[in-house]
Amino acid sequence: MTLFTPLLLPNGSSIPNRIAKAAMEENMADQHQAPSPQLLRLYQAWAQGGAGLLISGNVMVDGRAMTGPGGVVLEDDAQLDGFRRWAAVGRAKGAQFWLQINHPGRQMPANLGQKTWAPSAVALQLGSMSKHFATPHAMTDAVIEEVIRRFARTAQLAEQAGFTGVQIHAAHGYLLSQFLSPLTNHRADRWGGALANRARLLLEIVKAVRSVVAPGFAVAVKLNSADFQRGGFSADDAREVVQMLNGLAVDLVELSGGSYEVPAMQGEARDGRTLAREAYFVEFAQHIREVAHMPVMVTGGIRRKPVAQQVVQSGVDMVGIGTALAIDPGLPQDWREGRDSAPQLPPITWRNKALGAVANMAVVKYQLRKLSCAKAPKPGVWPLRALIVQQLGNAWRARQYRRWIAQRG
């Protein structure tokens, strides 16, 4: 098996090769929180680059619950034509194109001015940066049921728009990940306590989504291999959740890790573990692959062809690549043609780890903005400059979002 061997999914569809463009949050919505021309140009670059699967950045199931300003929202059919154009661009060269659908829970910036919901009223602990996130309200049963309906509706609309699947985001400290973790889920009802209860929301959403889409439409889940916080969601928990998903017609599970508090997806951990510098989560993926009935994909730090090939040969079905494809969207085609490109960003070694993680994301988004303007990426950009550019852009997009919310009444 090689990186360019097609992957047959349980739903009967096929992914042309084993390389996925993993989700990266683009924050490139237009004034209607719909796909912008810049976003379409970005995905055109990736579609031409040769990855077999493209997974979008966060697409929000509720316009009142955003992971950040400039986020794309798909909650009704008002902007469906824009999503159709996006789907067509991403699929133009034969790749599958899935929307990553998400709800932020407590990880929603306070300056967006919306009520924040989470499983329990547990605030983010980010030191001096905690002030940027409100303490959430514990979700009622009615709010939980509405969230389930919203995930299903967004998936239904994604299929209507021409996407080939959705990925339900249950990682990186967002809402479904918050329910899974005992550090953020202190509930004493059927949604909290034992792992079976903490996983209930994810399972109900998967079932609701599968019930409204065609059998050939892919339904995937992104799951933390671990939270990398003591007392949090563990690798053994992840293995159990995958076993729970086995009977629910899930077509692929992507494994990542971490959250805003512990950005393990960038190679950082807080529980004493040392993460490998490349292919961070492969060890966890191999552990979970033993029990998974569906294909497993691993994302985190992969940028070299020999490493990617080793991951596939180890039994993991797909490799997800993010940052490297932000620098070189044509990387899969390079590898296919025998060029061993290995794009990399210079490491950020700031003393303030939380700020350094934000700067790292800003540097990645700087590359995405370049690609969206049909310009060459600039991986050597000064991190402070990228951070300032992002903060200024976020402030503008936050104002745009608040105007959109006000117009909706």
Sign of CA dihedral 15, 20, 24, 29: negative
CB contact at 8 A, 276 and 296: no
Tens-digit pLDDT profile for residues 2-11: 999 999 999 9
What is the tens place of the pLDDT at every residue in 318-329? Answer: 999 999 999 999
SS3 category, 354: helix
What's the rounded Cα separation, in Å, for the pair 221 and 228? 19
Distance CA 300, CA 345 (A): 14
**Quick one: pLDDT at residue 147?**
98
pLDDT at 269: 37
Per residue, the 3-state secondary structure of 273-291, as one string, reads: CCCCCCCCCHHHHHHHHCC
Token look-up 């929301």 returns 201
Looking at residues 357-364, what average pLDDT do you find?
91
Looking at the chain, the whole-number percentage of residues with pLDDT higher than 90 is: 80
Residue entry with tokens 């296919």: 336
370 confidence band (pLDDT: 50, 70, 90): very high
Domains of the chain listed by start with CATH number: 7-408 (3.20.20.70)
Q: Which residue do the tokens 């550090």 mark?
A: 183
Judge contact between 34 and 71, C-beta under 8 A. Answer: no
According to the model, what pLDDT value does residue 275 have? Answer: 35
Q: How confident is the model at residue 25 (pLDDT cuts 50, 70, 90)?
A: very high
**Helical (H) or strand (E) element with 299:** strand 296-299
Cα 83 to Cα 81: distance, rounded to the nearest angstrom: 5
Among 286, 177, 187, 189, residue whose Cα is nearest residue 241: 177
Mean pLDDT, the chain, integer? 92
Is the model more confident about 396 or about 227? 396
Angle at 223 between CA 43 and CA 102, to 5 degrees: 55
CB 192 within 8 A of CB 144: no
Q: How many residues does the chain have?
A: 409
The DSSP line for 45-70 is HHHHHT-SEEEEEEEES-TTS-SSTT
Res. 45: pLDDT tops 70: yes
* Residue 12: predicted pLDDT: 97
In whole angstroms, what is the distance from residue 266 CA to residue 243 CA?
A: 27
Q: Does pLDDT of 76 surpass 70?
A: yes
pLDDT, tens digit, 9 for 90 and up, residues 126-160: 777 778 889 999 999 999 999 999 999 999 999 99
The model's pLDDT over 246-305, given as tens digits with 9 standing for 90+, comes to 999 999 999 987 666 665 444 443 333 333 445 567 788 888 999 999 999 998 889 999
Residue 331 is predicted with a pLDDT of 97
| pLDDT recorded at residue 274 | 35
Three-state SS at 138 = strand
* pLDDT of amino acid 58: 96
Q: Are 50 and 336 in contact (CB under 8 A)?
A: yes
